[in-house]
Amino acid sequence: MLIFLRVLGESFNFAINALKNNLLRTFLSLLGVTIGIFSIIGVLAAVDSLKNEISGSLSSLDNSTTIVMRFNFGPTDIPRWKWQQFPDVTYDEYQFLKRNLPDAKAVTFTQNVPAETIKYQDASSLGVTVQAVGSEYYDIEAINIEEGRFFNESEAASGSPVIVMGSEIAENLFGSIDPMGKQVRMYGRKFTVIGLLKKEGSSMFGPSKDSQVFVPVNVTRRIYGENNRSIFPQIMIKPEADVDNAEFLAVLEQRLRTFRGIKPGEVSTFFVNQLKGFTEMIDNITGTLNVIGLVISGFSLLVGGFGIANIMFVSVKERTNLIGIQKSLGAKNKFILFQFLFEAIILAIIGGAAGLFLVWIATLIASNFTGDFDFVLSFGNIMLGTTVSALIGLISGIIPAISASRLDPVEAIRTGM
């Protein structure tokens, strides 16, 4: 163990001397490793940050949450012209599934309606995102109520004029006034504020709940009707935790096909989407980005590897006499081999550390320019960058190290004189 520490210490000193004595040459040789590590870890950090943001945005919904609608989340074999003619899901279909779908923990009907202006006395909020949902939406998506409550099943079924507000909308309309029990105007009628949501911050997937309001879906059904193609109704379903996912989806599709009178062999005129499929699609996209980044970065690392090999061959030539003296004093081939291998690894790690430093600087700059989207250089990526650097040094230094270890001591001393 002591001899390895001694070899490591000497190798570190030789690596530092190489940097000091041939600064420009060493800098240019290590530049490939620096750029390669910067490229690889930069791409991985960006992809990881994107995945973290997506996971945070979707964290309020369970991956098993199922959405039935006339659109599909991802690619489909059904021609575009055909699925564009699919009918919207209806409130009657929602009620049918609610009564007849086994293993469903919660079922709700929602509508994506246009933004609306909300007024309270002289104050108003323009372009507010209105979420028209049923009462069981509260059981499907994690909605954090800071004050008050969400509307109940009776209020949802009757289309009571009640509203649950995001913190940003409440602040715009009421300022420091407690909004609970106050009445606001929307759709030409009065709505009573019964709930206030906790502040959650911005989201990369559209507006956060801070700038949204929730109203019973039967309010908007009366306003927009059932056959308005500009409104996108959905049936959201959360299955029981221990249910077989494939069987649940099969039963769901078959029940709705039966309700619509779709014959065997005919294409279903609806799509059953699951967030699990959406997250898998995101994983595929980020995986592809990682592969592209690795391929591009590989060329830089290849150049960096040749640069380190060049440094080590020059180092062997410059220290031929010293190698001969060490061997004549009893140094074994293994000692010389490890000495040059460690030196190559240390040089590569120095180049990689410079690349990681540049990634860290880039994440700080990018985070400042992208607001609430945080670019993060994780500890795992730092360790990966260091490991890749060490491997590049090991591979690049193996041939020079072997050639140094095999030098004849007499010839080495004579050549170096």
- What residue type is 221 in one-letter code? R
Q: How much is the pLDDT for 59?
A: 47
Task: Give the rounded percent of residues in the chain with a pLDDT score beyond 70.
Answer: 78
Least confident of 105-109, 112-116, 163-167, 348-352: 348-352
Higher-pLDDT residue of 333, 152: 152
Interatomic CA distance for residues 314 and 309, integer angstroms: 9
The 3-state secondary structure of 255-291 reads HHHHHHCCCCCCCCCCEEEEHHHHHHHHHHHHHHHHH
126: alpha, beta or left? (left if phi > 0; alpha if psi -120 to 50): beta
Assess contact for 197 and 147: CB atoms under 8 A: no
pLDDT digits (tens, 9 = 90+) for 255-300: 999 999 989 888 999 998 887 655 666 666 667 766 776 776 677 6
Buried b (16+ CB within 10 A) or exposed e, 336-353: bbbbbbbbbbbbbbbbbb
Mean pLDDT over each residue of the chain, to the nearest integer: 80
Quote the pLDDT of residue 155: 92
| pLDDT tens sequence across 177-231 | 889 999 999 998 999 999 999 887 665 555 678 888 999 999 999 988 877 777 8
164 versus 84: the higher-pLDDT residue is: 164
- Is-above-0.75 flag for pTM? no
Radius of gyration of the chain (CA): 32
Going by pLDDT thresholds of 50, 70 and 90, the confidence category of residue 350 is confident
Q: Range with the lowest mean pLDDT among 150-159, 340-349, 386-395? A: 340-349
Q: 142-156, 349-363, 364-378, 396-410: which has the highest mean pLDDT? A: 142-156
What angle, 0 to 180 degrees and rounded to 10, lies between the N-to-C axes of helices 275-318 and 2-21?
Answer: 80
User: 34-60, pLDDT tens digit by residue?
Assistant: 888 887 777 777 777 766 666 555 544
Query: What does the pLDDT read at residue 303?
Result: 74
Q: How confident is the model at residue 141 (pLDDT cuts 50, 70, 90)?
A: confident
Among residues 276, 278, 273, which one has the least CA distance to residue 253? 273
3-state secondary structure of 195: strand
Q: How many residues does the chain have?
A: 417
Cα angle 32, 33, 35 (rounded to 5 degrees) comes to: 65
pLDDT band at residue 13, thresholds of 50, 70 and 90? Answer: low
| 147 DSSP β-pair partners | 196
Q: Please tell me the distance from the alpha carbon of residue 315 to that of residue 84, in angstroms, as a whole number.
A: 69
Residues of the chain with pLDDT > 90: what percent? 22
Please say if the pLDDT value at position 379 is more than 90: no
Q: CA 56 → CA 49, 107, 141, 200, 354, distances in Å?
A: 10, 23, 13, 11, 31
Residues 197/144, Cβ–Cβ less than 8 Å: yes
Instruction: Report yes or no: 241 and 119 within 8 Å, Cβ to Cβ.
Output: no
Q: What per-residue confidence (pLDDT) applies to 118?
A: 93
Give yes or no for residue 83 having a pLDDT over 60: yes
Local confidence band at 328 (pLDDT 50, 70, 90 cut-offs): confident
Q: What is the pLDDT of residue 60?
A: 47
User: What's the confidence (pLDDT) of residue 203?
Assistant: 56
pLDDT band with cut points at 50, 70 and 90 for residue 22: low
